[in-house]
Structure 1
Amino acid sequence: MNNNFFVKSHGLGNDYIVMDSHKTDFEFSVKNIQLICDVHYGIGSDGILVLVDSTKADFGLRILNPDGSEAEKSGNGLRIFAKFLFDYGYTTNTSFSIDTLGGVVRAEVIQQEKGKARMIKVDMGAAIFEAGKVPVKSEQAECLDELLELDGTSYRINCVSVGNPHCVVIKDELEVDEIMKYGTQIENHTKFPNRINVQFAKVISPDLVEILIWERGAGWTLASGSSSSAVAAVMVKKGLTNRKLTMKMPGGELKLEIDEDWQIHMTGEVREIASGVLSAELLDELIG
């Protein structure tokens, strides 16, 4: 595998570039992350997944947002990363552990196609509702059905951590324009010390929920595994759905299961888009 080799894959339209930190000739600085993720001047993606060393798991992972910030966890990102590890010979095992800022998770390749991973299950860890651990500023032990005042409107919010922070708004109807307008206000509200991921959610049935996603550091997103996990946990917490449910997003569907210990299990497809090597001209800009 050449230096500066990359793979671009997507999970339900949520696309990431994957690279090996041991085989790159540049630093993953904020400026460089933004350039690589730019659709006009770089490769274009919703983020970068970087393979790093770990003493806690089989593999280490850094998840870099297109604005240059670093995420604790990403469900789609984890499945894409697991596919990369399996497809490119980093492991021959179909089950292995991955160390993230949001904790160690286990990934399992449960379906292959022509020797490549297609369907992957990820154990996302436990949902945490304790306000201080999300984190969210709240006078209550758990931030559920709490009023959040914004410029021009207000929402009842439900906050949870699945290794990264989430704010779930349950609605009767979903409008893309609405989350595009208020997503950034919620993400950057002073109530959330580390900013927050935002989901507008509509219960279709006890087994099906539809969601729209505003991702911290990335904005409007077609699909998100951690967002799906967070919404599923909130729905079960509030008694609105069964523990096994499907999350429907603009990019596609994920299967979620919340067990009695609030452990989250997520299953979905991943597909490779392209692979290649960064050009000498782009490297000149990155090395600078």
Structure 2
Amino acid sequence: MKFTKMHGIGNDYLYFNCFEEPVTDPAALSIRLSDRHFGVGSDGIILIGPSDKADCSMDIYNADGSRAMMCGNGIRCVGKYAYERGIAKKKTLTVDTQSGVKTLFLTVDENDHVTSVTVNMGKPELSAPKIPTLFETEQVIDHPVEIAGKEYRVTCVSMGNPHCVVFVDDVDAIPLESIGPSFEFHHMFPQRVNTEFVQMIGENEMKMRVWERGSGETWACGTGACAVAVACALGGKTGRQVLVHLKGGDLNIRWDEESDEVFMQGPAEFVFDGQIN
């Protein structure tokens, strides 16, 4: 079985071309291959396959075998893979995901290589029950919550998957390995949650670390960066166009005022091709 390892600013997945080869039991496969000591090493696997709604589909499984709805860095890699490997030789293409069909706009250089991908990530969901959270307010904006014996103020947003944004003074000082699971499995988040810790470092500019449900700390999270941009604008901390610095690199995020859609722009890279038995 052939696979391709790719990453979007350090958020790495193993990609399988299901146009050519089906994958059975992807959850178990993801657990085995994602292990960074005994497997290939990744944040999970992504299956690229046919769709009757779009140019292709993507199906995501986290490192713990759980199924994910959406991945912003992953979908940029799907766009690069689809274009450069001949699945859809289009500079504007569509990808069918568990959270709907997304439109991608590819920047292609003179060598026909995709250098950057802008994704229309759709409209943010701010309704507490639809994120979902169990907070009793209609929206969760700068709302207090006690987690692991400490009070935090959180803003919750869904970008096709649930996010909890926390503003801090020093993001590097956060003990993410210990506090991340306390957020992920907190009872207020019935489907678990991705948590972004954010430090403002300039006008319309912030630094972020992320604890992803099912994968732990990752070097980047595209949907998380989009959720952070929305949370910043809602809280009056920034305008609607921001630069987000993540552990693996930078993403440009724009929350369009007229359409209410969020656009994410960033790179996607091939790492290597491989084969497993």
Tell me the TM-score normalised to structure 1 length. Answer: 0.92
| Alignment-mate amino acid for residue 267 of structure 1 | Q
The residue aligned with 2:243 is 246
- The residue number in structure 2 matching 1:33 is 30
Q: Write the letter of the residue equivalent to 1:207.
A: N
Alignment counterpart, residue 14 of structure 2, candidates 12, 17, 20:
17
Identity of aligned residues (%): 33
The verdict on how the C-alpha distance between 1:137 and 1:82 changes in structure 2, with shifts beyond 3 A counting, is same
Aligned to 1:229: 226
Residue 119 (1) aligns with residue 126 (2): no
| Alpha-carbon displacement from aligned partner over 1:225-267 (angstroms, at most 9, x marks no partner) | 1110000011111111011110011111001100113211011
Query: Are 1:54 and 2:45 matched, yes or no?
Result: no
Shift of 1:176: 5.0
Q: In structure 1, which of residues 129, 135, 139 is the aligned counterpart of residue 136 of structure 2?
A: 139
Q: Tell me the secondary structure at the aligned position of residue 186 of structure 1.
A: helix
The amino acid that maps onto 2:261 is: Q
Q: Deviations over 1:70-123 (max 9, x none)?
A: 111111000011111011011111111111111111111113363221211111
Deviates more, 1:29-38 or 1:81-90: 29-38
The within-5 A match list for 1:210-229 is 210-229=207-226
Is 1:272–2:260 an aligned residue pair? Answer: no
Task: Kindly indicate whether the alpha-carbon contact (under 8 Å) linking 1:176 and 1:212 is maintained by their aligned counterparts in 2.
Answer: no
**SS in structure 2 at match of 1:43:** coil
CA–CA distance in structure 1, aligned partners of residues 217 and 236 of structure 2: 28
Aligned to 1:167: 164
- For 2:27 and 2:89, how far apart are their aligned partners in 1? 33
Structure-2 residue corresponding to 1:95:
92
Deviation at 1:196, TM superposition (A): 0.5
Tell me, which stretches of 5 or more residues in structure 2 are unaligned? Answer: none
Shift of the 233–156 alpha-carbon distance from structure 1 to 2, 3 Å rule, reads same
The one-letter code matched in structure 1 to 2:92 is S
CA deviation profile, 1:19-56 (whole Å, cap 9, x unmatched): 02243364134222100111222211111110123222
Alignment CA distance shift 1:58-1:9 (3 Å): same
Q: Which amino acid aligns with 1:264?
A: V
2:197 paired residue number:
200
Task: Quote the Cα distance in structure 1 between the aligned partners of 2:240 and 2:140.
Answer: 21
Aligned-partner residue type, residue 202 of structure 1 = Q
Q: Is the 8 A contact 1:5 1:23 kept in 2?
A: no
- 1:206-228 residue CA offsets vs partner (Å, 9 max, x unmatched): 32011110011100111111110
Matched residue type, 1:269: P
Alpha-carbon distance in 1 for matches of 2:68, 2:173: 24
1:148 matched residue in structure 2 = 145
- The residue type paired with residue 126 of structure 2 is F
Runs of 5+ consecutive residues of structure 1 not aligned to the other structure: 284-288
Question: In the alignment, which residue of structure 2 is the partner of 1:178?
Answer: 175
Distance across 2 between alignment mates of 1:113 and 1:41: 39
Residue number in structure 2 paired with 1:286: none
Q: Deviations over 1:152-199 (max 9, x none)?
A: 322111100011100000112213542222111101111011100000
Change (3 A) 1:229 1:113: farther
CA distance in 1, matches of 2:14, 2:26: 15
Report the residue type matching 2:78 in the other structure: F
SS of the residue corresponding to residue 171 of structure 2 reads: coil
Alignment match, 1:105: 102
Q: CA RMSD in A?
A: 1.4
